[in-house]
Amino acid sequence: MDDFIQLLVKEGILTEEEGLRIGEHIIHTSISSVLYLLDEKIIESRLLAHYVAKYYHLPLYNLAEHDLSLIPKEMLHIPVVQKKIALPLMKEKDKLIVATITPDLVELSEAEKLLGISFEYRIVDAVALAEIIEALKASEEHLVKKKSDPDSFLRKKRSLFDEENNYFDSNSHFVTENTRFLDSVIRNAVSHRASDIHFEPYEKKFRIRYRKDGVLQEISSVSPTLASTLIARLKVIANLNISEHRVPQDGRFKMKIDKDKSIDIRISTCPTLHGEKAVLRILESSENVLNVDLLGFDEAQKNAFIRAAHSSQGMILVTGPTGSGKTVTLYTALSILNSIEKNISTIEDPIEIYMDGINQVQVNAKTGLTFSAALRAFLRQDPDIIMVGEIRDGETAEIAVKAAQTGHLVLSTLHTNSAVLAIQRLINIGIQPFDIVSSVIIIIAQRLVRKLCVYCKQAISEKEIKKKYRLYGCYDQIQAKTLYKASSCSYCNNGYSGRIGIFEVLSITDVVTEMILSKASIASIVAKLKQEGMMFLLDSGLDKVTRGETSLEELSRVINL
């Protein structure tokens, strides 16, 4: 096999067997190895371009960034352009900068002699090259037929390439079977409403799992020889460095689901013992997820939440562990408030939901763009509403509290197990009790429980209710005569479909204010709130159980009965 094929084998892109087979075919046909790999769709074009550039020590060039007005139009009819294997980009003194898919082609040497000028090569993606040549030809034909404004083609070029670097379209030319497999994995995840996809390399297998309704499920296990190829493909479409395997990387890309719909996907890679692991987070669009009636509040909780959201100033805090739905709750509040009359800014790490009409800022610690730095900047930009993705330290908390006290509505999250514990957390990071009561309007603690599948959930007998619910120590709180448990059907596969929130909503009333200022213990605050009839997480969860929305087993899994 030739040296380039050996490189692909060494990098794990081809197996030894594939390398030998391809090498033998190339020897017998005298075809360029790169052209053969493209024609047979063995390696995806952008991934192949990376390794061509690496092998020949040439720069990898992004055609989307090239100024098309520099392209010498008189050279569009030479054979290498017509065959879509090269494109002159610009003249530079005594040489011609040429984009090509590989520099070892005889046709390029012939073109160099024909034009009488030396070539300096840039390696490009074969699909992008073909598309831009087609677009140039179409533009030229259009200009022959009808005079048009000189910027029309540039607009067309931008429309073709605006999302080139981060758009995954498996219907492109030169797509491999591995790429189609990856496409099917992601599409299947979307259709099954999975939130995350895990690609995990092990010694003897490459495992793929979905997180659906908060629980991981294995959906496929393939040969470990595919691991490096699939991970490399993911890194290519997310514009990550595919040569870097030693450190974690983060990125994102879009994927076209159908003609009118695309989804955003965030990717995180991490080196493990047997290779790189990748996790994809499927980010839902705001119109799909933000509806206050679908969150899971009871009527009193919902009304308190909406009242707080319409406050002219103060702070709304949502608390709970990672993955408990805090971001969706905050963005639901923002969706209620989002209007042309409001200036709304958010600082997040990372941005998970995109929303038009809101100034969304991504934390970038490397450049000094932290939560606190962004907060200070927001306060100089005439804000009405500010959302801070998370209050992690005393500095951020202090700035947020001052903002809430000076005419701004501030929304944020904390990591505590209950609403009352959020008060203690603020005190622990340096916020004084009088600042808490003068800024915080409401604290919401939440979890997500899986909903019983409406097609297959099974009623349980009163005898079973007594036996099971006494085991969990909450029989006295169960009022319903009919309760349900999970079963399974072709729709859900495991008895559950979708998730819903359970909540405790703590409004900072006069009674609560007095207890905070008097530095009452957490236990005494909880006792007082129970006496006043506040619904805690357990109460909210048991309400969902008695309504047949979830099971006691699921509730126990989430809040550890």
Q: Is the dihedral of CA 418, 422, 424, 429 positive or negative?
A: positive
The predicted pLDDT at position 267 comes to: 95
The predicted pLDDT at position 183 comes to: 85
Which structural domains are found in the chain, ordered by start? Answer: 44-161 (3.30.300.160), 168-283 (3.30.450.90), 287-448+499-534 (3.40.50.300)
Buried b (16+ CB within 10 A) or exposed e, 376-411: eebbeeebbbbbbbbbbeebbbbbbbebbeeebbbb
Whether the Cβ atoms of residue 412 and residue 441 lie closer than 8 Å to each other: no
| CA separation for the pair 560, 328 (Å, rounded) | 23
What does the H/E/C string look like for 64-122? HHCCHHHCCHHHCCCHHHHCCCEEEEEEECCEEEEEECCCCCHHHHHHHHHHCCEEEEE
- Angle made by CA atoms 475, 326, 558, in degrees to the nearest 5: 30
Which of 183, 220, 165 minimizes the C-alpha distance to 198?
220
The predicted pLDDT at position 150 comes to: 40
Buried b (16+ CB within 10 A) or exposed e, 188-204: ebbeeebbbbbbbbeee
Within a 10 A sphere around the Cβ of 223, how many other Cβ atoms? 10
From first to last of the 561 residues of the chain, give the pLDDT tens digit. 689 999 998 888 888 888 898 988 888 888 889 998 988 888 888 889 999 999 999 999 988 778 878 888 888 888 899 888 999 999 988 899 999 999 998 889 888 888 889 999 999 999 888 878 877 776 555 444 444 444 443 343 333 333 344 445 544 444 456 777 888 899 889 888 899 999 999 999 999 999 999 999 998 888 888 888 889 889 888 888 887 889 999 998 888 877 667 788 999 999 999 999 999 999 876 555 689 999 999 999 999 999 999 999 999 999 999 889 999 999 999 999 999 999 999 999 988 888 999 999 999 988 999 999 999 999 999 999 999 999 999 999 999 999 999 999 999 999 999 999 999 999 999 999 999 999 999 999 999 999 999 889 998 877 777 766 665 656 556 655 678 899 988 778 889 989 999 999 999 999 999 999 999 999 999 999 999 999 999 999 999 998 899 998 899 899 976
Q: Half-sphere exposure (CA, 13 Å, Cβ side) for 58?
A: 24
Which of 205, 216, 219, 197 minimizes the C-alpha distance to 263?
197
The predicted pLDDT at position 154 comes to: 37
The predicted pLDDT at position 175 comes to: 47
DSSP bridge partners of 198: 209, 279
Task: Classify 297 as helix, strand or coil.
Answer: coil
